[in-house]
Amino acid sequence: MILQGRKKGIILVLTAAFFWGISGTVSQYLFQVLHIRAEWLTTVRLLSAGLLLTLIAYKQQGNRIFDIWRHKADILGIIIFGIIGMIGVQYTYLAAIQHGNAATATILQYLGPAIVTSYFILKAKRRPTTKEIIAVFLALLGTFLLVTHGNIQSLSISKLGFFWGILSAFGLAFYTIHPIELLKRWGSTIVVGWGMIIGGVVFSFVAPPWKFEGEWTFTTNFAFLFVVLCGTVLSFYSYLESIKYLSASETSLFACAEPLSAAITSVLFLGVSFGWIDWIGSVFILLTIVVLAKKQKASPG
């Protein structure tokens, strides 16, 4: 039974990772072929996915989903999470895709765990361990190779693509750190569902969902539904379910399939150029996750 449960967990986390990665490629198609704006997609994606996740939470937990609004500290926390965390991680990632490509954007976002590690080292005012130093070094080296191809005088991606990609890594770090206490009290589905709704409502002032720009065709319908349903709701739900069967270190390792799937689908279907130096840089960044995951596994609990 334990083996069957672990197998189920692996299937779930890989499903989440692959759909996350592929949705990045689909988003690139929406931006670069159908000329849809990242701002509009951010608003509609947050609102649609947030409502669906909140409905799932309501089906599972009933009126408890509204209790989070009865505590002042939690109200402030969820509002900050929705505005800074959700918009920060969603818009910056989509903007990085729009100004670059899904493969590079996804890999740059995976610098997030190294940023999280650095934050907790500074917060604890302690010296980093050897594994932490190696992890951060690999992350920096991988980023250098990915964005310069080894030539410090030139960028292999657009400046805006690099800028938004780095911001998405910091957004992911904040998204990971800020809601820790909220998640402990209310669970992931409630926190993320409300966070997405708040982020979507606030970002509506930047890009109202009724102001659409681009080409709306049958293909657009399919691509949009894939990003919302498969790339957001199904991926998130599968990832949460996988945590029931796998350790945190294992889920981190298997989730590395996300940038791999984004890179492969971008190269195969959108003709993105991804040379051997790009692959080496990507491997270094993903090795950061491997090193940090091994550290977690070695720690008690």
pLDDT beyond 80 at 33: yes
Instruction: Compare 253 and 226 and report the one with higher pLDDT.
Output: 226
Q: What is the pLDDT of residues 143-176, one digit of tens each?
A: 888 777 776 666 667 889 999 999 999 998 898 8
Of 6-10, 82-86, 180-184, 291-295, which range is least confident?
Answer: 291-295
Predicted confidence (pLDDT) per residue in 60-72, tens digit: 999 999 999 998 8
Residue 298: pLDDT over 60: no
Predicted structure pTM score:
0.86
**Residues 214-228 pLDDT 10s:** 988 888 999 999 999
What's the pLDDT score for residue 246? 75
Nearest Cα to Cα of residue 187 among 74, 297, 84 = 74
Distance CA 148, CA 150 (A): 5
pLDDT at 284: 87
pLDDT on residue 294:
66
